[in-house]
Structure 1
Amino acid sequence: MDLSGTVALVTGASSGIGEATARALADEGCEVVLAARRETRLETIANEIGRERAHPVPTDVTKESEIEALVEETTETFGGIDVLVASAGVLVMEPTAEQSRADLRRQVEVNLLGLMNVTHAVLPSMLDSGGGDIVAISSMNARNPAGGVYSATKFGVNGFCRGLRKEVSDAGVRVTTLMPGPVVTEMRDWEDWDGRALDPSEVAAAVVFAVTRPDHVTLLEFPVHSTDMVSQ
C-alpha cells in the first residue's frame, strides 16, 4: 500500500517511538500531524522533517478538550485521518509501593485513557471515510509484566484493541497492536540495562510495515524485540 497523500496523526511525537514514527511516515509520503505536549520540540521536529509534510499541534492526551481540538484541526485542514499511531506514554520505574497515587493516575491517564480517548475521537472520521489504520503502541509488559501499574495499562491497551478490532473490522478500520521490548527512549535510565535495547527507528519501521500491508491483512498483536530478548 502506497502511503503518498495519506494523513497520519501521531501522538507522543516529541521524542522516542512517536518521533521516529512521524519521521518514517513522512518519508513514506504521509502528511504527518505531530501531537505532544512540548511545543518547542514539536516545532523543531516539524522543521527538520519539512513543513510540507509535518504539522505540529501541541496536545496533552489527558485533556479531552485538547484531543477534540487536535482531531478537529486535523480533519478540517486535511479532510480526514487515515492513520492514527497512539504512542504517547509514561513509565514510572519505582515499585508500586514507592509510587505516589499521582504517579499511578498519570500512567493510567496517559497510557490507557489517553489512547482510548484519542482513538474514540478519531474513529468517526475513519468510519465516515470507509476505513483507516489504528496502531497502538503497547509493550512486552502486556504479556510479561514487570511492574504493576505500567503493565496494567498495557494489558488494558491490548484488551481495548482486541475488542475494538471486532467492532470496526467490518467497517474497514484495521487495528494493530505493537508490543516493543526495551527501547532506548527518555522513559527510563539505560545505564543499568545489560541487553540490546531497540532503537526507536526499528519500532517505527514496524509501524510502517503494519500500515502498508494489503487491506485484507491485519497483524493483530505484533511483538517487536531484539534478538537477545527472544533468546531469554
Structure 2
Amino acid sequence: MTIPSTTEAVGKVVLITGASGGIGEAAARRLAAAGHRVVLGARRTDRIEALAKDIAAEGGDATAHPLDVTSQGDVRSFVEAAHDHHGRVDVLVNNAGVMPLSRLDALDVDAWNRMIDVNLRGVLHGIAAVLPVMRAQRSGHIVNIASVSGLRVDPTAAVYSATKFAVRALSEGLRQESRELRVTVISPGLTRSELTDGISDGDVRQAVREQMAIAMPATAIGEAIAYAIGQPPEVDVNEIVVRPTAQG
C-alpha cells in the first residue's frame, strides 16, 4: 500500500528508537522513501549504521546514533545529536521494545524488570527528552508503539501487557495535556520481528512462533506510522490498531 502524496508532509526530522530491525527498520525505510530525514537509534550500532548506508544509497537521508533507551542520558544525547544536526525534531517514534514472555509463576523477575525498563521507562525517557524541544518549537509529534497486548491480556503476557497498557495510558494523558503536539499510539497485532528471540521458555517460544505463521510484515506498521505522520497539522491521529486479517 502506498500512502497518497496529499497526506504526506515531506522533510520532517523523525527519530526512531529500536531502529535496528523489525518495525523500526521498516519505518525508517518507509519514511526515508517519503522524503523524511530519519535518525536511527539502537544498541546494535552495526545494524543501524548499515541501514543508514542503505537508505543513503537509495537517495534518502539517514543518520545513526548509539542508543540504549533504558539510559536517560543516552536518550537525551540521541535527541540532542539529532537537534544539533538538523536544527529541529519533528517526530519521535518510541519503538524500542522487548517481549520475554513467561508465566508469572515462573518468577522471572529479571525479565519483568527488563520489560518495564525498555517498554515503559524507555518511552518515558523519550518523552522527557523531546518535550522541551517540541514545546520550544510549538510543534511536534510523538508516536508510541504499543501492542494489541495493551488491549487484552493472554497467559504468559501479563507483564508485557501491563507495560503496553501503560504506554497507551501515557499516550492518552500526553494527548490531553497537549494542544500544539500530536500524539499517536499504534498497537500492532502479530508482526514478524525478532521479539520472539527474547523468550527463554522453550514451550512459550514454540507456541508464539506457531502463532507467527499468520503474522503480518513489519512494513504494515511502517505504513501506519507514515499515515499518522502525514496528516495535516490540525489532524491528530490518536490511535491505530493493526492486526493480520487472520488474527482473532
- Normalising by the smaller structure, the TM-score range is over 0.9
Aligned length: 228
Q: Does 1:59 align with 2:67?
A: yes
- 1:198 Cα shift? 1.3
User: 1:99: Cα distance to partner?
Assistant: 4.5
What corresponds to 1:157 in structure 2?
Answer: 167
Identity %: 36
Amino acid of the structure 1 residue aligned with 2:132: P
Alpha-carbon separation, structure 2, partners of 1:118 and 1:89: 13
Gap regions ≥5 residues in structure 2: 1-6, 197-204
* Whole-Å separation in 1 of the counterparts to 2:140 and 2:35: 16
Q: Residue in 2 aligned with 1:131? A: 139
Work out whether residues 195 and 228 of structure 1, in 8 Å CA contact, stay in contact via their aligned partners in 2.
no
**Residue 106 of structure 1: aligned partner:** 114
Which of 126, 149, 170 aligns to 1:141? It is: 149
Q: Distance in 1 between matches of 2:147 and 2:63?
A: 27
Alignment equivalent of 1:82, drawn from 71, 79, 90: 90
Query: TM-score with structure 1 length normalisation?
Result: 0.94
Q: What letter matches 1:78 in structure 2?
A: H
Residues 1-232 of structure 1 aligned to structure 2 (within 5 Å): 1-50=7-56, 53-146=61-154, 147-168=157-178, 170=179, 172-188=180-196, 191-193=209-211, 196-229=214-247, 232=248
Measure, in 2, the Cα distance between the counterparts of 1:205 and 1:221: 14
Question: What is the distance in 2 between the residues matched to 1:200 and 1:178?
Answer: 13
The gaps in structure 1 that reach 5 residues or longer are: none
Cα displacement (A) at 1:194: 6.3
- Which amino acid is 1:225 matched to? R
Rounded to whole Å, the distance in 1 between the matches of 2:195 and 2:212 is: 17
Cα separation, 1, equivalents of 2:106 and 2:34: 43
Structure 1 counterpart of 2:211, one-letter code: W
* Cα displacement (A) at 1:3: 3.1
1:58 CA drift (Å): 0.8
Other-structure match for 2:199: none
Report the CA distance between 1:40 and its aligned residue.
Answer: 0.6
Q: CA deviation at 1:96?
A: 2.2
The one-letter code of the counterpart of 1:213 is Q
Please report how far the alpha carbon of residue 195 of structure 1 lies from its aligned counterpart in structure 2 after TM superposition.
Answer: 5.1
CA distance in 2, matches of 1:194, 1:140: 14
Could you state the TM-score of these two structures normalised by the residue count of structure 2? Answer: 0.88
Q: How far apart in 2 are the matches of 1:57 and 1:19?
A: 14
**What's the CA shift for 1:219?**
2.1
Conservation of the 8 A alpha-carbon contact between 2:221 and 2:242:
yes
Distance 2:8 2:194 in 1: 32
For 2:171, give the aligned amino acid: C
The CA distance in 1 between the partners of 2:40 and 2:34, in whole Å, is: 15
